[in-house]
Amino acid sequence: MLREVWPFVDAHHRAGRPVVLARLIGRDGPGSRPLGATMAVAADDTWRGSLSGGCVEGIVLDAARAVLAGAAPHVTAVAPGEHLLPWEDAPACAGELRVLITPAPPEPVHSVITTALAEDRPLAVRVGLRPPYPWSTAPATSQLPDEGPAFTEEVAGRPRLLLVGATDLAAILATMAQALHRKVVVLDPRPGHVASGAFPDTVEVVHAWPDEWIARHPLAANDAVITLSHDPRIDDRALRAAMAGPAGYVAALGSRATHRQRLQRLADAPGLDRLTGPAGLDLGGASLAESALSILAELVAVDNGRTGRRLRDGNLPIRAAAATAPA
């Protein structure tokens, strides 16, 4: 997806180095990455992204480097097993992939994408599938120009992750959650806590009571709220505000005994049946990083309607995300 590789693309763009994008636009069999998966290959031979989890990346890198060297942009078909010897088993993800290999979008499209991602504004991005492979953008797919066969990606704004309590665990959660492409907001009414300097620059740290902030910034169904302050005067206000809205994941840190007390205090709160506590999956970890991993793992499971049990004990498709389809 464009969001996954765009920091790399933008850094090379600002440095004046060409970048070629390889984008998965079709597949006739199973695969580990959704349509729209993107690799970005720069002129200094560095690259980011993945189309298959490793099966075809070498082939795609060669094709992208050829375009960097002057070959024409094109759509190509690659198969994970095409370089195997006759007696070698093909990988399970053996379907043929259709890959669009073209230079990254020029200005002004580059800046439009950069701004939309930075401001978390929805954006529809289309690239034509015939020469000269033109790029176009619009606030919504319905507003894009008709350019014939094209691949379209809808870049949605990031869902928010509200961490209530500017604690050491919140700092680790905030750092780890960035890879999940969530906009992290840390809320704490205690001035000394928000001034800790423990949070990445990309995280919004706000000195505010959480319920008052939520009232000014209503939650959406794909947002998440986790209380971490261990202070009921702060956490309870956040939970009441979050449970009254549509947030898809509302969770509280603490022991089982602490959570029983919390349920008693919040017995009259609307939406109490949606409260998760203690937050996290049963990983048995003790460190802050292990606790953060446990909580984020549960959040991902809830996002995808899964239980978080071991993959070997289930039979559902490993990846629940819907694939992006070409227009």
pLDDT tens-digit map of 193-251: 888 888 989 899 999 999 999 999 999 999 999 999 999 999 999 999 999 999 999 99
> Which two tokens mark 114?
């950069």
Q: Provide the mean pLDDT of the chain.
A: 90
Residue-wise DSSP of 170-239: HHHHHHHHGGGT-EEEEEES-HHHHTS--S-TTSEEEES-HHHHHHHS---TT-EEEE-S--HHHHHHHH
Maximum Cα–Cα distance across the chain: 68
Residue 270 has pLDDT above 90, yes or no: yes
Residue 324 has pLDDT above 50, yes or no: no
Summarize the confidence of residues 59-78 as an average pLDDT: 94
Identify which has the larger pLDDT, 53 or 121.
121
Q: How confident is the model at residue 69 (pLDDT cuts 50, 70, 90)?
A: very high
Summarize the confidence of residues 185-192 as an average pLDDT: 93
Identify which has the larger pLDDT, 325 or 180.
180
- Model pLDDT, residue 1: 86
- The CA-CA-CA angle for residues 215, 173, 299, to 5°, reads 70
> Would you give the end-to-end CA distance of the chain in angstroms?
16
The partner residues of 318 in beta bridges, in order of sequence, read none
Summarize the confidence of residues 80-107 as an average pLDDT: 72
Residue 326 has pLDDT above 60, yes or no: no
Residue 51 has pLDDT above 50, yes or no: yes
pLDDT tens column, 285-320? 889 999 999 999 999 999 999 888 887 887 777 666
- Model pLDDT, residue 292: 96
